[in-house]
């Protein structure tokens, strides 16, 4: 037992060495504050969007809510991004707005979430937080699944009304974001932040 800390240090050194030998960037754990801010940002975006949606559907009906989603979703995401200093948005494997298309990292993360959900994982337990090398330097990335809830199927379900379907297709002619059942993954929140150039080179 006395030896174990030294053993552990030895293993860590070996791991670090083998990571260098592979010339792959070793996985770097993001500072916990980054992950906490990202979680808070996705929570704020989700809550504000849902509040506007519920409010508009109740006050003006679902057709008006399509326009609200269209115009306000990017605005709300922009406001949360400015408040948190992180780029926050939504993406999906089957899209409504092509502006929300995933990059390779986002696609891989959502495919990983989908597999874990199929294996019975609790959606609330799923997230990914990593530091990756990007052209602008080291970048913090965070993602978390967005699950389909009961109010979502109105516009994303298997049985979208004719009237609503027409309003959606007017704005999004290539819409692929219907056919979801409650409890299925609809997409994901995605957060990124370019970290200070320090650390990009030793």
Q: Which is nearer to ligand HEC, 131 or 168 (CB)?
A: 168
User: Which span (12-20, 32-40, 95-103, 104-112) binds ligand HEC, by CB under 6 A?
Assistant: 95-103
Q: Which is nearer to ligand HEC, 148 or 200 (CB)?
A: 148
User: Which span (1-9, 26-34, 58-66, 135-143) binds ligand HEC, by CB under 6 A?
Assistant: 58-66
The tally of CA atoms less than 13 A away on the side-chain side of residue 73 is 17
Smallest CA-to-CA distance from 153 within 185, 181, 177, 123 is with: 181
Residue 58 binds ligand HEC, judged by CB under 6 A = no
Binding-site member from 141, 144, 186, 193 for ligand HEC (CB under 6 A): 186
Angstrom distance (rounded) from CA 18 to CA 110: 29
Report the run of H or E that residue 142 belongs to, with start and end: strand 137-147
Q: Alpha carbon of 110 to those of 20, 24, 187: distances in Å?
A: 28, 23, 7
Q: Which is nearer to ligand HEC, 25 or 54 (CB)?
A: 54
Residue 145 binds ligand HEC, judged by CB under 6 A = no
The tally of CA atoms less than 13 A away on the side-chain side of residue 145 is 23
> CB–CB of 180/156 below 8 Å?
yes
Q: Which is nearer to ligand HEC, 68 or 129 (CB)?
A: 68
Quick one: DSSP state of residue 5? H
Smallest CA-to-CA distance from 53 within 126, 149, 127, 124 is with: 149
Residues 103-122 that bind ligand HEC (CB under 6 A): none
Binding-site member from 38, 66, 93, 131 for ligand HEC (CB under 6 A): 66
User: Which span (14-22, 33-41, 96-104, 122-130) binds ligand HEC, by CB under 6 A?
Assistant: 96-104
> CB–CB of 184/131 below 8 Å?
no
Binding-site member from 39, 40, 44, 70 for ligand HEC (CB under 6 A): 70
Judged by the rule CB under 6 A, the positions of this chain that interact with ligand HEC are 50, 53, 62, 65-66, 69-70, 73-74, 90, 92, 95-97, 100, 146, 148-149, 151-152, 154-156, 177, 186-187
């Amino acid at each position: 037992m006395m030896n174990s800390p030294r053993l552990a240090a030895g293993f860590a050194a070996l791991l670090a060495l083998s990571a260098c030998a592979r010339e792959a960037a070793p996985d770097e754990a993001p500072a916990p504050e980054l992950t906490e801010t990202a979680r808070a940002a996705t929570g704020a975006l989700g809550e504000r969007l849902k509040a506007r949606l519920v409010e508009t559907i109740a006050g003006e009906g679902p057709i008006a809510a399509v326009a609200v989603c269209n115009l306000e979703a990017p605005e709300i995401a922009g406001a949360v991004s400015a408040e948190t200093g992180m780029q926050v948005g939504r993406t999906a494997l089957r899209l409504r707005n092509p502006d929300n298309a995933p990059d390779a990292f986002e696609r891989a993360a959502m495919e990983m979430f989908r597999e874990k959900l199929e294996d019975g994982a609790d959606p609330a337990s799923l997230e990914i937080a990593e530091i990756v090398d990007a052209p602008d330097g080291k970048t913090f990335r965070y993602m978390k699944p967005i699950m389909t809830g009961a109010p979502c199927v109105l516009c994303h379900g298997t049985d979208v009304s004719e009237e609503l379907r027409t309003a959606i297709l007017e704005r999004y002619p290539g819409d692929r974001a219907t056919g979801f059942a409650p409890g299925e993954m609809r997409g994901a929140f995605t957060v990124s932040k370019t970290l200070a150039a320090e650390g990009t080179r030793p």
